[in-house]
Amino acid sequence: MTKRHALVYGAASIDSPAELDQAIIGCNILINCAGPFRDTAPPLIAAALCARIPYIDVAAEIEAILDTMQNWDTPARGAGVPVIPAVGFYGGLGALVAAEALGTWSEADRIVLSYGLNEWVPTAGTLAAGAVSRERRNGGRPIFTEGALSYTHAPAPTLEWEFPAPIGRQPAVSEFTMADTVTIARQVRVQEIVSYMPAKAIADLAGGTVRPSGDPKVQPSHQRFVVQAAVSRGGMVRSCTVRGGDIYAITAPLVAEAAEFAIRSTDGGIRVAAELGAPGDLLRTLTPFLDIEPTKESAVSVMH
């Protein structure tokens, strides 16, 4: 991103279409970073369609993302406006990594996502969105198997898992289904998507500590992450791995670069991050912020 624009601040209620319409006059794109997205996405999408400008959000609430995909594709196509949910670390980055691993494959037997986090101090917004999702799931836990998303009340499996360096082997929770499962399933026909998260990161998430707001230069994050997507089909597996420093910080350039693609788009309707531009283009714009390993391909007999 090379352009700089003056920032103008204002306030508008999501309960007032007139205020929202007034707030985005003169805007080229509407970027929604205000969750819970169950509440904010519908009125802001409606405002973007009315203004004929692209809409992007950073939702990680699986149910809210599905609502957007199911309810807004036809209106967005009719308006000729791209609507792009889940352009964050969860929902955006993991899906871009999976798309890079998929390459030319349009279907797969299994996709394994490894989210290696050394720690996870959540923001207040993350906690609020998580509470909304838990409420909507009524005690269920999302899993993706037999080609579809479903819910189970069984406990999530725990095991030792080998995350890519620098996280390494450690206790992990399997079937820790995140928003990437929904956005990946839009890109490719796949029978099973399984995600792994370090047990420590989940304990941090549930620990009650909230990430302070403010200038990250004053309050720097010590978080490090590695995301790997391993895609199997037949007897082959393709994997792509990226590394970075902060799951919240990477969301900012991801959204900014996605916005550039969205503004240039001539197609209306629902899109996900991996559908913007040519395959791999959006991920490669993030090289100043990510270490991206070349995709590897090998023959395997079993993927755990």
- CA 260 – CA 50 distance, rounded (Å): 20
Length, in residues, of the chain: 304
**DSSP string across 207-243:** S---PPPS-TTTS-----EEEEEEEEETTEEEEEEEE
pLDDT attached to residue 268: 96
Output the pLDDT for position 62.
97
pLDDT digits (tens, 9 = 90+) for 277-296: 998 999 999 999 999 999 99
φ, ψ at 150 (rounded to 5°): -145, 180
Read off the pTM. 0.92
pLDDT of res. 21: 93
Query: What separation in angstroms does the CA of 282 have from each of 8, 84, 92, 257, 288?
Result: 27, 14, 10, 7, 12
Q: For the chain, what is the mean pLDDT? A: 92
Domain boundaries, the chain: 89-247+288-299
pLDDT at position 235 is 93
Give the Cβ contact number of residue 95 at 10 Å. 29
Using CA atoms, how far apart are residues 298 and 292, in angstroms rounded to an integer? Answer: 18
Which segments of the chain are extended strands (E)?
30-32, 55-57, 82-84, 107-117, 141-145, 148-152, 158-162, 169-174, 189-198, 225-233, 236-244, 269-270, 291-292, 296-299
Phi, psi of 98 (to 5 degrees): -65, -40
Which of 99, 43, 35, 83 has its CA nearest to residue 62? 35
In degrees rounded to 5, what are phi and psi of residue 166?
-95, 10
- Quote the CA–CA distance of 3 and 206 in Å, as a whole number: 39
Q: 252: part of which helix (H) or strand (E)?
A: helix 251-264
User: What is residue 19's predicted lDDT score, i.e. its pLDDT?
Assistant: 95
Rounded distance between C-alpha atoms, residue 67 and residue 83, angstroms: 12
How far is residue 7's CA from residue 229's CA, in Å, rounded to a whole number?
37
pLDDT less than 70: residues of the chain? 1-7, 213-220, 301-304
Spatial separation of the C-alpha atoms in residues 295 and 275, rounded to whole Å: 19
CATH class of 89-247+288-299: alpha beta
Give CA–CA dist 148/143, Å, rounded: 8
Dihedral of alpha carbons 281, 81, 125, 115, sign: negative
